[in-house]
């Protein structure tokens, strides 16, 4: 087949799908990418901030060296060296209440022998407390992280939960561990921690998210002849006989030819609007595969926010720093040069605080962690992403749809919120793009 693939949405899922299709150039497929805003990247983007006088990211993004889909994507777009992180699988932590700091160091082998040494573990934690992560394998579909991994279930001290499982779960699932689905953690533990230290190195963008993950992809696509259409907001879809036949954007309409395919790599609300009534009415009634629990036609509709702060330091630090905090408003601090960037995931309770208040608290924590002494808060930017990810609760997880839309012969879904088997993360988004591209290739 030699038709065109129309990809709507130039976030990581849409970009990964486009890159994968063009990487398999023997498919002879043409790719058109449509994006409603004026830049690619979606929830993973960078922009120039005039107040800070530099390019900043919309939010800190932590990745792991074991993220396979990410590695494939980076290799295809020639951006492998654009991520950075510690040379080993080491996570630095700091407790703001007690001013204690510690390192979780998984060493360098398949078996984390380094944990035998107390200095490489959470203070006062026992080795068996690390094996508790395996409980997420057997966690029921409705079991929360807290019910699975907190002290009441026995064998794990409250400190271990507070200092390891709680911060990890909050970062991975962007949902309060009291309501987040425990089983959603296992795919990450399996992909990273269960495969040894080489898969557990924390990674961040060396310069910026766009520099590492977005610009090289755009260059790759342009070089391979894809057509990119920015400021193209999809407003409706024409379907008939189980096929998408046209895409209507604000300013014009694109005909979808019989051999063409369409990938929606947009947020779930947009997909609901486009195809909500379509699966039963306009499309044929052929059933497509779905997840066991997914309810046909229903999509995730609850989100959780992330707040990110960028605060300028009085001087440059030589060393790239990634540090997790407990008993603080800050959860992760990344330091690149003279900029400290701070994440607050599952940030619902803090969304109404003023930027000044948030910046003041973050600054007190940054100063303590970095040992900067008595220096006043300088320039800062607080960014609130209301819909950072879907809520990764049992009820919302059950609504994540598969890539194939039931009854639609030429329409596929991608996005971190689809049923990837992974949490809503960069790895999930890229993997969903790869799956959609493969489904298009196999389309008959
Ligand atoms: C602040 C923040 C911090 C995060 N931290 C991490 C982290 O540490 N690690 C991690 O792995 N993940 C993190 N994530 C999650 C990660 O950013 C997402 O999983 C990923 O970017 C999702 O990509 P996507 O392509 O699925 O969706 P999106 O990025 O949402 O892409 C969808 C695209 O579709 C476009 N669009 C929407 N409607 C239309 C329309 N009608 N027509 C055309 N285009 C349309 C949008 O503009 C957007 O570009 C974070 C997210 C945020 C917001």
pLDDT at position 351, please? 98
Burial class (CB in 10 A: 0-12, 13-18, 19+), 84: middle
Q: Determine the Cα–Cα distance for residues 72 and 157; give it in Å rounded to an integer.
A: 39
Q: Of 56-60, 105-109, 355-359, which gets the smallest average pLDDT?
A: 105-109
Give a yes or no: residue 342 inside a domain.
no
Give a yes or no: residue 58 inside a domain.
no
State whether 403 and 296 are in the same domain.
yes
Nearest to 14 by CA among 207, 271, 198: 271
Compute, in angstroms, the gap from residue 60 CA to the centroid of ligand 1.
Answer: 13
Give a yes or no: residue 124 inside a domain.
yes
Q: Determine the Cα–Cα distance for residues 125 and 151; give it in Å rounded to an integer.
A: 13
Nearest to 440 by CA among 162, 27, 83: 27
Nearest to 409 by CA among 254, 253, 282, 272: 282
Residue ending a domain, choose from 200, 235, 255:
200
Give a yes or no: residue 246 inside a domain.
yes
State whether 33 and 107 are in the same domain.
no
State whether 186 and 40 are in the same domain.
no
Give a yes or no: residue 371 inside a domain.
no
Q: Determine the Cα–Cα distance for residues 230 and 214; give it in Å rounded to an integer.
A: 14
Give a yes or no: residue 326 inside a domain.
no
State whether 119 and 221 are in the same domain.
no
9 lines ligand 1 (CB under 6 A): yes
The total number of structural domains in the chain stands at: 2
Q: Determine the Cα–Cα distance for residues 411 and 413; give it in Å rounded to an integer.
A: 7
State whether 220 and 285 are in the same domain.
yes
Give a yes or no: residue 32 inside a domain.
yes
Pocket test for ligand 1, best of 67, 229, 266, 276 (most atoms within 8 A of CB): 266
State whether 194 and 96 are in the same domain.
yes
State whether 157 and 281 are in the same domain.
no
State whether 190 and 235 are in the same domain.
no
Model pTM above 0.75: yes
Nearest atom within ligand 1 for CA of residue 417: 26
State whether 154 and 22 are in the same domain.
no
State whether 193 and 101 are in the same domain.
yes
Atom 7 in ligand 1: residue holding the nearest Cα: 61
Q: Determine the Cα–Cα distance for residues 182 and 150; give it in Å rounded to an integer.
A: 11
Give a yes or no: residue 329 inside a domain.
no
pLDDT at position 290, please? 38
Compute, in angstroms, the gap from residue 124 CA to the centroid of ligand 1.
Answer: 38
415 lines ligand 1 (CB under 6 A): yes
Residues linked to residue 63 through DSSP beta bridges, in sequence order: 203
Nearest to 2 by CA among 380, 259, 357, 263: 259
Q: Determine the Cα–Cα distance for residues 202 and 204; give it in Å rounded to an integer.
A: 7
pLDDT at position 208, please? 97
Query: Are the C-beta atoms of 38 and 13 separated by less than 8 Å?
Result: no
- Secondary element (H or E) of residue 4: strand 4-8
Pairing of strands 261-264, 411-413: parallel
CB atoms within 10 A of CB 291: 15
Residue ending a domain, choose from 177, 200, 223:
200
Compute, in angstroms, the gap from residue 8 CA to the centroid of ligand 1.
Answer: 13
Atom 37 in ligand 1: residue holding the nearest Cα: 266
Atom 6 in ligand 1: residue holding the nearest Cα: 61
pLDDT digits over 254-303, tens only? 999 999 999 999 999 999 888 765 655 455 433 333 344 455 568 999 99
Residue ending a domain, choose from 200, 221, 238:
200
Task: Kindly state the average pLDDT of the residues 347-361.
Answer: 98
State whether 189 and 219 are in the same domain.
no
Atom 26 in ligand 1: residue holding the nearest Cα: 415
Domain of 216: which CATH number? 3.50.50.60
391 pLDDT higher than 80: yes
Compute, in angstroms, the gap from residue 385 CA to the centroid of ligand 1.
Answer: 10
Q: Determine the Cα–Cα distance for residues 361 and 213; give it in Å rounded to an integer.
A: 31
Nearest atom within ligand 1 for CA of residue 427: 11
pLDDT digits over 143-197, tens only? 999 999 886 565 667 888 899 999 999 999 999 999 999 999 999 999 887 788 8
Domain that holds residue 227: 4-46+208-301+392-441
State whether 190 and 229 are in the same domain.
no
Compute, in angstroms, the gap from residue 299 CA to the centroid of ligand 1.
Answer: 16
Compute, in angstroms, the gap from residue 44 CA to the centroid of ligand 1.
Answer: 6
Atom 51 in ligand 1: residue holding the nearest Cα: 388
């Amino acid at each position: 087949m030699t038709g065109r693939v129309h990809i709507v949405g130039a976030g990581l899922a849409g970009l990964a799908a486009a890159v994968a299709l063009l990487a398999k150039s023997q498919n002879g497929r043409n790719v058109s990418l449509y994006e409603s805003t004026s830049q690619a990247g979606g929830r993973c983007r960078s922009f120039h901030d005039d107040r800070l006088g530099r390019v900043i990211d919309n939010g800190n993004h932590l990745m792991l060296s074991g993220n396979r889909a990410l590695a494939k994507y980076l290799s295809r777009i020639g951006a492998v060296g654009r991520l950075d992180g510690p040379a080993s699988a080491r996570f630095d932590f700091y407790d703001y209440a007690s001013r204690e700091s510690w390192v979780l160091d998984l060493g360098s082998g398949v078996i984390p022998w380094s944990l035998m040494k107390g200095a490489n573990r959470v203070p006062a934690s026992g080795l068996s407390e690390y094996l508790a992560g395996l409980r997420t394998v057997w966690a029921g579909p409705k079991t929360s992280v807290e019910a699975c991994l907190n002290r009441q279930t026995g064998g794990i001290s409250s400190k271990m939960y507070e200092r390891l499982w709680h911060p990890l779960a909050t970062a991975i699932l962007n949902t309060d561990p009291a309501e987040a689905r425990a089983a959603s953690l296992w795919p990450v533990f399996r992909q990273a921690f269960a495969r040894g230290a080489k898969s557990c190195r924390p990674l961040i963008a060396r310069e910026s998210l766009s520099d590492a993950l977005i610009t090289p992809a755009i260059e790759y696509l342009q070089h391979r002849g894809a057509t990119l259409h920015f400021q193209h907001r999809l407003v409706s879809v024409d379907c008939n006989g189980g096929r998408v036949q046209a895409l209507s954007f604000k300013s014009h309409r694109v005909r979808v030819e019989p051999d063409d395919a369409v990938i929606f790599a947009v947020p779930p609300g947009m997909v609901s609007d486009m195809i909500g009534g379509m699966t039963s009415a306009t499309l044929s009634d052929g059933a497509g595969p779905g997840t066991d629990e997914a309810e046909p036609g229903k999509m995730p509709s609850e989100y959780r926010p992330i707040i990110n702060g960028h605060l300028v330091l009085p001087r440059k630090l030589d060393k790239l720093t990634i540090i997790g905090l407990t008993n603080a408003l800050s959860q992760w601090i990344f330091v690149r040069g003279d900029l400290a960037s701070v994440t607050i995931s599952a940030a619902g309770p803090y969304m109404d605080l003023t930027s000044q208040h948030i910046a003041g608290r973050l600054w007190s924590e940054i100063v303590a962690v970095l040992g900067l002494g008595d220096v006043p808060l300088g320039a800062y930017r607080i960014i609130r992403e209301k819909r950072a990810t879907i809520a990764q609760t049992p009820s919302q997880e059950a609504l994540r749809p598969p890539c194939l839309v039931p009854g639609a012969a030429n329409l596929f879904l991608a996005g971190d919120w689809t049923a990837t088997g992974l949490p809503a993360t960069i790895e999930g988004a890229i993997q969903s793009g790869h799956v959609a591209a493969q489904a298009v290739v196999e389309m008959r």
